[in-house]
Each structure stands twice: as structure tokens, then as C-alpha cells.
């Protein structure tokens, strides 16, 4: 298991998508600690991430890599590329892995089909117009789109994506090629994506080089992607299951993706679970926030 800290320093020092940075820290802690019940958990981060998560919060990661310091050096003022830290983490894996976002929480091990698969994802997000709209806007603005994406989209018109709440596997050759191409997409479009008015949806580009590229490459190579969640259910039904903490002991998997982190009720539930199950870390975060040390 590997988890990554997004390399943008401001992402971690402010709220990380939550309504307050307190909940961001609590989410990192709860996610790490719940995964530790079932797996070895490694952290891929930068120097600042290590200082916060390891040295200050004392979260029990098994190993830590400072690979993302390279990103701070290369992209000192990054915009619209928050998923790139994850790409760097995929590229350095040398054993089967499951990467999990810091807003993912589990209540049991993943099924064997996930643990042993060559490629895995949380689910297939079948396009219902939302992804296609983002893709069309990207097509009109990007300076470079790789052939594997052009070929797949031109043949199928499909804008579906594999959700990367969890992503991983044991096909290291694929991940090396995938990471190289994702970084190429970022680098060849960097002058464009640095504009503050680049896109209406600020998540569209990171999802493009992370989730959509993953799908296009897997389809081109005719590789199966094992998914954790049955994608035949409606999008609304899936999302309601993903955020339903009250049913977590049955679904065993929660992912507070996107705007769901902004809902105060969801944030309070995260803080409640941390307080109930790991009170030492709950009190530690509260005290550190009060003392303005994080």
C-alpha cells in the first residue's frame, strides 16, 4: 500500500479541499490508521509532508519517500496539476501496490481480485455528459494530446474514466509507460495550464492525465482493470454508498471525493471516527491546531 501527499505545499497547509485544515489533518490520520489495520502503509511525500505527517503528527507509516521534493523543484508554482504527485508515486513502485487517496477509509482488506490484479481502480465512471464536456473543452485548449487518447476517443467517442480513489496493481511496465506519458502531457501543456482561467472545472485536467489516460492506455493494450465497485449502478447510487459512513461496516469502503469533503456533516463524521477509534491522534491534532503548530 502506498499513499501520496500532493506536492503543492499550499494544498496541505490550507484545507486540502475540506472546509477547514483541521479536517484535512484528521482525514490523513484516519485514512492512514484504518489502512494500517490491514496493510503495510508507505508514504510518498516531500520534506514538508514528512515534517507534518511523520515528525509532528507521528502517523505510523512503514516507510517514507521524499520523491515529491523533485516536483517542488521542477514546478515551484504549480497550478491545475494536483494529481502529478500521485503519478510520481506510481512510477517508483517495485512491488504490487494499491494507492489510496487521503479521503479513502476502509473497514476490511480488499478482495483478492483487487489485491492480485495487474491493474485496479475504484470504479469505472461511465460518461453521462459530464466527462465529455470537460474533454471537449480540453481538446479546444491543450497544445498537446497524446495519440493514445486521440485514437481511443476518435474511435469510440467514450469519455468515461477510471476513478482513482484507489489505483494500482502489479503491471509495473504499464505504470512506467503511463507515468512517463502523464508527465509528458503536463510538461507539453504547462504554458497553457498555468493560466488561472484555464478551465471552468479546475479538476478536469488532473483527471485527464490521471484517470482518462489510464483508461485509454488500458483499452489500447486490451488490459483488464479490476474495479472495487460495481459500475452498473447509477452514479448517484454509487456516490451515496461511497459517503455513507453509517453503513461503513457493511460497505467497508468510504471515499469522500470532491465536493463531499466540503459538507460539514461529512467532516464532523471523520472527526468523530478519529476521536472514537484513535483518540490520541484526535487530541494531538486539536492541540496542534490550537497552538498554531500545524
What CATH number is given to the structural domain containing 268? 3.90.550
Angstrom distance (rounded) from CA 287 to CA 283? 6
How does pLDDT run across 198-223, given as a tens digit for each residue? 666 778 999 999 999 999 999 999 99
Is 84 a domain residue? yes
Q: Is position 104 within any domain? A: yes
Is residue 17 one of the residues assigned to a domain? yes
Assign 293 a pLDDT band (cuts: 50, 70, 90). confident
Q: Is residue 90 one of the residues assigned to a domain?
A: yes
The model's pTM is 0.93
Confidence of residue 246 (pLDDT cuts 50, 70, 90): confident
Q: What is the pLDDT of residue 151?
A: 97
Ramachandran area for residue 128 (φ above 0: left; ψ -120 to 50: alpha; else beta): alpha
Does some domain include residue 207?
Answer: no
Domain that holds residue 278: 2-126+162-187+228-290
| Stretch among 5-9, 157-161, 173-177, 218-222 having the lowest mean pLDDT | 5-9
Q: Domain count of the chain?
A: 1
Q: What is the pLDDT of residues 85-139, one digit of tens each?
A: 999 999 999 999 999 999 999 999 999 999 999 999 999 998 767 789 999 999 9
Residue 112 within any structural domain of the chain? yes
Amino acid at each position: 500500500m502506498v499513499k501520496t501527499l500532493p506536492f503543492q505545499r499550499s494544498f496541505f497547509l490550507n484545507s486540502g479541499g475540506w472546509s477547514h485544515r483541521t479536517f484535512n489533518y484528521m482525514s490523513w490520520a484516519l485514512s492512514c490508521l484504518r489502512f494500517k489495520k490491514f496493510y503495510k502503509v508507505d508514504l510518498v511525500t516531500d520534506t514538508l509532508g514528512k515534517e507534518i505527517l511523520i515528525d509532528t503528527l507521528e502517523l505510523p507509516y512503514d516507510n517514507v519517500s521524499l520523491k515529491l521534493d523533485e516536483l517542488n523543484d521542477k514546478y515551484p508554482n504549480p497550478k491545475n496539476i494536483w494529481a502529478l504527485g500521485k503519478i510520481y508515486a506510481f512510477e517508483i513502485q517495485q512491488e504490487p501496490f494499491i494507492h489510496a487517496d487521503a479521503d479513502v477509509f476502509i473497514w476490511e482488506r480488499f478482495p483478492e481480485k483487487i489485491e492480485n490484479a495487474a491493474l485496479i481502480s475504484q470504479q469505472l465512471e461511465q460518461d453521462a455528459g459530464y466527462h465529455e464536456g470537460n474533454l471537449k473543452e480540453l481538446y479546444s485548449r491543450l497544445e498537446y494530446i497524446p495519440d493514445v487518447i486521440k485514437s481511443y476517443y476518435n474511435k469510440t467517442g467514450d469519455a468515461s474514466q477510471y476513478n482513482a480513489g484507489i489505483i494500482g496493481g502489479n503491471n509495473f511496465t504499464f505504470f512506467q509507460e503511463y507515468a512517463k506519458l502523464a508527465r509528458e502531457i503536463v510538461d507539453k501543456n504547462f504554458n497553457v495550464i498555468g493560466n488561472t482561467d484555464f478551465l471552468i472545472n479546475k479538476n478536469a485536467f488532473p483527471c485527464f492525465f490521471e484517470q482518462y489516460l489510464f483508461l485509454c492506455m488500458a483499452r489500447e493494450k486490451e488490459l483488464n482493470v479490476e474495479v472495487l465497485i460495481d459500475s452498473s449502478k447509477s452514479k448517484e447510487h454509487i456516490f451515496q454508498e461511497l459517503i455513507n459512513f453509517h453503513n461503513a461496516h457493511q460497505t467497508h469502503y468510504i471515499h469522500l471525493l470532491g465536493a463531499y469533503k466540503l459538507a460539514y456533516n461529512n467532516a464532523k463524521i471523520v472527526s468523530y471516527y478519529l476521536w472514537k477509534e484513535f483518540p490520541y491522534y484526535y487530541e494531538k491534532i486539536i492541540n496542534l491546531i490550537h497552538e498554531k503548530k500545524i
